[in-house]
Amino acid sequence: MRVITSSMVVLALVTGLGAIYTFRHLNANLNIRDLTGLLGDRPDKVAVDGPREPLTVLALGSDARDGDGNNIDGLTGGGERSDTAILVHLSADRTRAFGVSIPRDSMVERPECRREDGTVIPASSGLEMFNNAYTVGGPACTIATVEHNTDVRIDHFVVVDFRGFVDMVDAIGGVEVCIPFDAIDPRHGIALKAGTREVRGREALNYVRERHKLSPNGDIGRMKRQQAFISSMANKVVSAGTLARPERLFKFLDAATKSLTLDPGLGSLTKLAELGLEVRGIGLENVSFITVPMELWSVNRNRVIWTEDAELVWEAMRNDTPLPRALTRERLTPAKPPGSSAPAEADATGTPSPTVTPTPTPTAGATQATDPAQVEEEFDEVSPEELARRYGLCA
């Protein structure tokens, strides 16, 4: 959103006619879907103090194989799933944002869902895998499932497919990652060589898809790797290396707008730019990614179930309060992406994005520990070395 806003300014300075053409071209790229009529009973938004309303956006990655460039591995049939789901919250004062990854293997209740063809899918009789909602009812069913299990009202949604992901990465010249060791997975056509470098194209897609070799915990490690990749990508997109190069900026915007499926509330370049102006004050250090608190499901150890602490995350979203520090020990931030070989990139003005360790914020009703050792044990963020061990990242 910040990039869209900046690009309009840059292009307007170059040529007024060029800006008008570019605006129309990018605006026409957007794919808009109105799912309002497919959503049943929805949670109410909680009234909070602030200059604006807080916003919650559900970002989904579709693994559909149909469409140009999406059949990456010859897999056919099996429907469409969303193996990536991140619930992003923007505060009412637009000073902070956080994203929460929802595991595809989460066992949740799925409510009744409606398809665009009028078909009604009965609610699940018990718990079922989270990503099954997308298979049976697309993004509308996924929105309904998230709202049903979190009581958080979703304001907007965004869907991106394989081809769109690759095009956005290639448009900015690749994204830097650190692969700790060779990961060869012939079954899924993945071969990743160890090292720190910028990946693009199919290799970038393989890096965020791989879930059998790089981390010992499958999808959980893959989610953390996706958070790291998004952090690194965001860092590069808002850097001088992108914002100060109109040709690279245009390629990224062209790829992004072609790739995204949006709701009408975000369904124009004007609306995206307006939101971009609102969030321009959120520094990368004030953006965090976490994973919903969870544990292995006792019935099937290949599935996970959310713990009681997950309710603290949803409560923070509903009431627009900061996440409890105890739940952000493994947070990732675009201000300093894991595995980065250099400090955070400078922004378009040449000012480096600072890396900040937030001051612990006590949660409501919590008793503050007076023993420094206890505070360190409870609230210190997990070290990069430990994150690397757990999730197949580099320190």
Query: What tens-digit pLDDT sequence spans the chain (395 residues)?
Result: 666 665 555 555 555 556 677 788 888 999 999 999 999 889 999 999 888 999 999 999 886 535 454 344 444 445 565 778 999 999 999 999 999 999 999 999 999 999 988 899 999 999 999 999 999 999 999 999 999 999 999 999 999 888 888 898 998 899 988 888 888 888 778 889 988 889 998 899 998 888 878 876 667 888 888 888 888 888 888 777 777 777 788 888 888 888 889 999 998 888 888 888 888 778 888 889 999 999 999 999 889 999 999 999 999 999 999 999 888 888 888 887 766 554 444 443 333 333 333 323 333 333 333 333 333 344 467 776 777 777 767 75
Q: Closest Cα to residue 109, out of 87, 133, 85?
A: 133
Structure tokens that stand for 28 in this block: 């026409």
Write down the H helix ranges in the chain: 2-14, 16-29, 132-150, 162-171, 201-209, 219-237, 240-243, 246-259, 269-278, 310-319, 372-379, 384-391
Query: Given its phi and psi angles, is residue 256 left (phi above 0), alpha (psi -120 to 50 degrees) or beta?
Result: alpha
Q: What is the pTM of this model?
A: 0.81
Domains defined for the chain, CATH in brackets? 2-391 (3.40.630.190)
